[in-house]
Amino acid sequence: MEPPPQIVVDGVRKVYETPSGPVEAVARASFTIRRREFVSILGPSGCGKSTLLMMIAGLDPASEGSITVDGAPVTGPRPEFGLVFQDATLLPWKSALENVLFPIRMMRREVAPARERAMRLLDFVGLGGFEGKKPHQLSGGMRQRVAICRALVHDPELLLMDEPFSALDAITRDEMNVALMDIWDAYHKTGVFITHSIREAVFLSDRVLVMAKRPSTVVADVTIPFPRPRDMSIQEDPEFNRICGELRARIEEGYARAGEARGPRRSLKAFA
């Protein structure tokens, strides 16, 4: 028997009131995410992905509809969520270890017991020996690894990631995908991952939600059948490429529906 889903997003709409009139950031979103499932949200920029993630995190209230996590409606921020952003947003004056421990301090928990976990996390992502380094002494990929450790240090139920690898170069990005995959297999969290890379979404996820712009809705929900643990080699699998092609087609449909005067080649490029 299926356990009940952990996250239920039901008819959520978000309208921002701006000086130049209301902006509909999310028109209507409904989906569920099971415990320990890794779900990517794929869509063009400005389609409301970040807004949706912030609403799930309880950092921004929905205008309509409801979001529940573990059966309880999300009404405000909850520390049992781990957040990772596009920029590592580390404190520049703190060492890698101190940055990882930051949530523990902010949650006013005892630091000493968490230190060991923080060191283990840093070790796990290949940053053993770098715990004393400050962010400016680390590469972009290393900084983002620290940010991922920071998101996991307080053992959250849920990891919410908003384009965490978008600012990295392609090679580092591949490395980070593998690192995240390893973390996933080791730590078993529920994950919501925002990206506009189709291959990244397919490689990492159990399911991919495709969002369209104007109106901003979820237009497709595609299950990725590859078993775990996965490695880079699945990217050569014909099935992998078939799924990528299907997702690309769904995104194109989204554009077509929005009636955007946009050639398929340009939008394809945006999702290379």
Ligand X SMILES: Nc1ncnc2c1ncn2[C@@H]1O[C@H](COP(=O)(O)OP(=O)(O)O)[C@@H](O)[C@H]1O
Question: Site residues (CB under 6 A) for ligand X?
Answer: 16, 18, 23, 25, 43, 45-51
How far, in whole angstroms, is CA 244 from its chain's centroid?
A: 18
Contact in structure between 93 and 134 (CB atoms under 8 Å)? yes
Query: Taking the complex as a whole, how short is the minimal distance between the CB of residue 18 and ligand X, in angstroms?
Result: 5
When CB distances are held under 5 to 8 angstroms depending on the partner's kind, the choice from another protein, ligand X, Mg ion, none that residue 79 binds is another protein
Count of residues binding another protein (CB under 8 A)? 27
User: What is the 3-class SS of the chain, one letter each residue?
Assistant: CCCCCCEEEEEEEEEEEECCEEEEEEEEEEEEECCCCEEEEECCCCCCHHHHHHHHCCCCCCCEEEEEECCEECCCCCCCEEEECCCCCCCCCCCHHHHHHHHHHHCCCCHHHHHHHHHHHHHHCCCCCCCCCCHHHCCHHHHHHHHHHHHHCCCCCEEEEECCCCCCCHHHHHHHHHHHHHHHHHHCCEEEEEECCHHHHHHHCCEEEEEECCCCEEEEEEECCCCCCCCHHHHHCHHHHHHHHHHHHHHHHHHHHHCCCCCHHHHHHHCC
- The stretch near another protein (CB under 8 A) out of 90-98, 115-123, 178-186, 214-222 is 90-98
- How far apart CA 167 and CA 233 sit, in angstroms, is 24
- Examine residue 107 and tell whether it contacts another protein (CB under 8 A): yes
Q: Which of ligand X, another protein, Mg ion, none interacts with 78 (beta carbon under 5 to 8 A by kind)?
A: another protein
Site string for another protein, 46-75 (x = CB under 8 A): --------x--xxx----------------
Residue 165 or 240: the one with the smaller Cβ distance to ligand X is: 165
Decide which of ligand X, another protein, Mg ion, none touches 92; Cβ closer than 5 to 8 Å per partner kind: another protein
CB of 52 to ligand X, least distance (A): 7
Only one of the segments 99-107, 189-197, 202-210, 254-262 lies at the binding site for another protein (rule: CB under 8 A); that segment is 99-107
Here's the x/- map for another protein, 19-48, by CB under 8 A: it reads as ------------------------------
- Regarding 141 and contact with another protein (CB under 8 A), the answer is no
| Binder of residue 113, out of Mg ion, ligand X, another protein, none (CB less than 5 to 8 A by kind) | none
Chain center to CA of 3: 23
Stretch that binds Mg ion, among 47-55, 77-85, 136-144, 179-187 (CB under 5 A): 47-55
Nearer to another protein, 23 or 107 (CB): 107
Which residues form the interface with another protein (CB under 8 A)?
54, 57-59, 77-79, 81, 83, 85-87, 89, 91-93, 102-103, 105-108, 134-137, 154
